Amino acid sequence: MQHTDIINKIKNTSVLVVGDIMLDRFIYGAAERISPEGPVPVLKVGKETEMLGGAGNVLSNLAGLEAGCTIAAVIGADENGNHVREIIRAMGYDDGALVDDAARPTTVKSRFIAQNQQLLRTDSEDTSEISKDVQNALMKAIEKALPQAGALVLSDYNKGVLTPGFIKDIITKAKAAGVPVLVDPKRDDFSIYAGADFVTPNRKELSQAVRGMPVGSDDEVEAAATALIKQSGIEAVIATRSEDGMSVIQNGQGAVHIKTRAREVFDVSGAGDTVIAVLAAALAAGADIKDAAALANKAGGIVVGKLGTAAIRADELARDTDHGNQAQVMSWNDAQAKVEEWKAQGQRIGFTNGCFDILHYGHVNYLNEAAGKCDKLVVGLNSDASVKILKGPQRPINDENARAAVIGALGAIDLVVLFGADKAGQDNTPCDLIGHLRPDVFFKGGDYTIDQLPEAKIVQAYGGSVDIMPMYEGHSTTAIIEKSKSADAA
C-alpha cells in the first residue's frame, strides 16, 4: 500500500489507547543571574505552556494524523485532571473513558527552560498501583471502546495503572475481539506483555530486556529481538534505533531493517509515542507491518527535529513521504505553530510576500538573497481574489494552487501561506498575517522607505526588523505578459 493511501485511510480509523496519561508543563524564561541564596540560576519566567504527555502524547499524535481515538486512563480528581480533560475535548475527542481517582494526583512533569536549555524537571506523581475499584471502572471503559477500535495501544510508563494482571486481562479481551495490541514498554520484564502482537522498545530497552545482549548492528538487534520473542511470548518486536532507523523482527520470519534519512536532531522527547501512534493507525487502516513501520520511521524522524514533546501531523508526514523538499502550504494557525517551533530551535525567521504570478529571474534572485539573510523564509502569497483586486480581472494568469506549488519548489522557500482581501475596499496587505506569524525580519523589494510601509509598523511593534532590498530592473510579470501579447500580435 502506498504511504499516501495509508495516510488518507488513517482518517477513517479508530485507535484505543490505554495507559499512563500525564500533563507536560513547560516554563520558559531567561536565566541571566545566579541566585544569592545558592549556586543555582534564577529563571525569569516568560511563558508557560501545557500539553498532554505519556499516553496523552500518543493521543496528540493520533489527532495530528486525524485518526479517531478513545483514550482510557486514570487522572486525579484535581485541577490538573480538569486541564487534561479540557485538552482532550479541545482536540475533538471524548474524555468519557478517563477515570478519576481521588486517591492520587494527576501526573505532572514540569520542565524549566532557558535559552533552549532545560535547567530542571520536577515530577508530581503517585506510582503506586491503582485500586481494584479504579481498575474495574477502567476495564469497563476499555470494553465499551474495543468494538470500534482498529488497534489497541498500551502506553506503559510504569506509573501504577498497567499492572501485570491488568495488562494480561486487556490483551486477552483485545485478542478475543480481534484487535491487534501494540505495547510501548518501560520495563525490563517483557513477559507481562505475553500475547501482544507488537512491542516497540528502543535500543536500550531491548538490550536490558535480554540481559545486556549487544544491539549495535542489524544482526545483533535481530538476535536480541529473536531471544526476546522466545522468552516473552510476544509475536513481534519493532525496535527503534535512533539514527539507524527501525527493525521489524517477527516470530518465524526474516528481519526487516528500515534505514532513516539523516536529519538534524533537536529533541527525542516523545518520539516513541509518535512511532507507536503511526504504527497503530496504519495497521488499523489495513497496512501490513512493513509498510506501517516504514511510515512510522519517517514520522519519528520528523518529530526529532522539533523541540519538546512534539506530535506528527498528517500533512507534514504526507509532504515528507511524497514531495521531497517542496515547501508546504499551511493555514495561518499551522504556519504560526511551525514558526514558533523554528524559533524555539533558535532559528531566524524571514517573511516576504507577493503575487508571484509568473515566476521570473527577478523573483528567484530576490528570494535567494532574502533566504541568505535568515534561517527560514516564509512567503505570503496573494490569493486569487487578492491578485484580481491588485492587477485587474484578467489576473492571475496562474491560480493560487499553481503559484504556491511553483514557488514552493524553490530551495529558498520553507513555507507558503495564502492571504489577501476577498473584495475591493478590504485590507489587501499582509499586515494581519505578519502580526499572526511575527517573523524576525520582513523583506520588501523595491524603492521604498520604511515609513511608507504599513507592514513595517507591525513588525517593529513586536521587535522585528525590516530589510528593504533592491529589485532586479527589467524583470516583471507585467512586462512578460506584454511581451507575449506583442509576439502574438506579430
Question: Distance between CA atoms of 275 and 169, rounded to whole angstroms?
Answer: 25
Q: Can you read off the three cell numbers belonging to residue 388?
A: 484580481
DSSP string, 287-320: --HHHHHHHHHHHHHHHTTSSSS----HHHHHHH
Give the single-character DSSP code of 148.
Answer: G
What is the per-residue burial (b if ≥16 Cβ within 10 Å, else e) of 301-321? bbbbebbbbbbbbbbbbbbbb
Residue 28: Cβ within 10 Å count? 18
- What is the spatial distance between Cα 88 and Cα 46, in angstroms, rounded to a whole number? 26
Q: Where are the alpha helices (DSSP H) in 65-115?
A: 79-90
Cell 499553481 locates to 402
Instruction: Cell numbers for 410, please give them.
Output: 524553490
The residue from 101, 156, 197, 273 that is catalytic is 273
Beta strand 256-258 pairing with 246-250: antiparallel
d(CA 62, CA 9): 13
- Cα separation, 88 vs 30, in Å, equals 31
Residue in the structure block whose three cell numbers are 518465524: 252
How many C-beta atoms lie closer than 10 Å to residue 162's C-beta? 29
3-state secondary structure of 64: helix
Element (H, E) at 367: helix 361-371
Between CA 27 and CA 48 the distance in angstroms is: 5
**CA 241 to CA 315: how far, in whole Å?**
25
Considering Cα of 90, then 96, then 101, then 107, what sign does the dihedral take? Answer: negative
Q: For residue 372, with 0-12 CB atoms within 10 Å meaning exposed, 13-18 middle and 19 or more buried, which class applies?
A: exposed
| Preceding peptide of 214 cis, ω within 30° | no
Q: What is the CA radius of gyration of the chain?
A: 26
Beta strands of 226-285 (E only): which ranges?
A: 236-240, 246-250, 256-258
Q: Is residue 101 among the annotated active site residues?
A: no
| Residues 139, 279, 231, 55, Cα dihedral to 10° | -40
**Could you give the CA distance from residue 23 to residue 124 in angstroms, rounded to a whole number?**
10
CA proximity to 57, closest of 150, 163, 184, 180: 184
* Residue numbers annotated as active site: 273
